Amino acid sequence: MDIYPAIDIRNGKCVRLLQGDAKREIVYSDNPIEVALKWEEIGARYLHIVDLDGAFHGDTENISIISEILSNISIPVQIGGGIRSMEKIDLFLDNPKVARVILGTSAITEPQLLSEAVQGYGNRIAVGIDAKDGWVAIRGWVEETRIDAIEFGKNLKAKGIETIIYTDISKDGMLSGPNIRATEAMIAQTGLNIIASGGVSRLEDIETVKKIGAAGIIIGQALYTGKIKLAEALSYEED
């Protein structure tokens, strides 16, 4: 299982949002580049980067900061947030340090874009399924749909998607533990590589997520508050 420290960027700063609510923001650093270098220095093998401005508004306003992160680190990243055109997909995936891009809203609203992206880049295209009470939410989590998250996952697999970043919105940023039951159901019923996200607050959460067969886990707020030490979390990558 892979460990992904999260770097969420909003207005040029490294932040965390509670349950995805833009009004409940905690700023942890004014310099996301320094944060990325810190996680790499400790031993992270991957980073999870999200452009929150892009997720909310559809514009990648933090692209210069993301580009600078990529220029300064040597480890691969996955990037999400407002990636809703082939131009943005091409821009990121032209960089060899970008292991994959994550489509969210566009995977639902623009199925043709999803098909074109998968055809062009294969498993370097992942999809973020952000769910609340089992239903998919889009546009930076502010718009709920009546699309069942697991059924959506099955449909994505049929379209050639291999990796899903699965987030339980109610858990994100709350340090209350991940939604193990929902994550396990997503793994068992879709057969996809599931990277779990949301609510990780202690090492036992990582152990549990590993036991249910997740391909990876994203850790955000717990790292920034010190509840989890990255060096200790990374030990769970080992067999």
Output the domain CATH number for residue 71: 3.20.20.70
CA atoms within 13 A on the CB side of 167: 26
Query: What is the model's pLDDT at position 17?
Result: 77
136 alpha-carbon distance from chain centroid: 15
Query: What is the model's pLDDT at position 58?
Result: 67
Query: What is the model's pLDDT at position 72?
Result: 98
- For residue 14, give the 3-state DSSP assignment: strand
Check 8, 168, 172, 205 and give the catalytic one.
Answer: 8
Query: Is 8 a catalytic site residue?
Result: yes
Query: Is 168 a catalytic site residue?
Result: no
**Which residues of the chain register pLDDT less than 70?**
19-22, 58-60, 139-143, 170-176, 239
Query: What is the model's pLDDT at position 138?
Result: 77
User: Which residues constitute the domain of residue 171?
Assistant: 2-237
Check 2, 53, 130, 168 and give the catalytic one.
Answer: 130
CA atoms within 13 A on the CB side of 5: 29
**Alpha-carbon gap, residue 55 to 17, rounded angstroms:** 13
- Provide the number of structural domains found in the chain: 1
Distance of CA 28 to CAs 7, 107, 130, Å? 10, 30, 23
Query: What is the model's pLDDT at position 31?
Result: 97
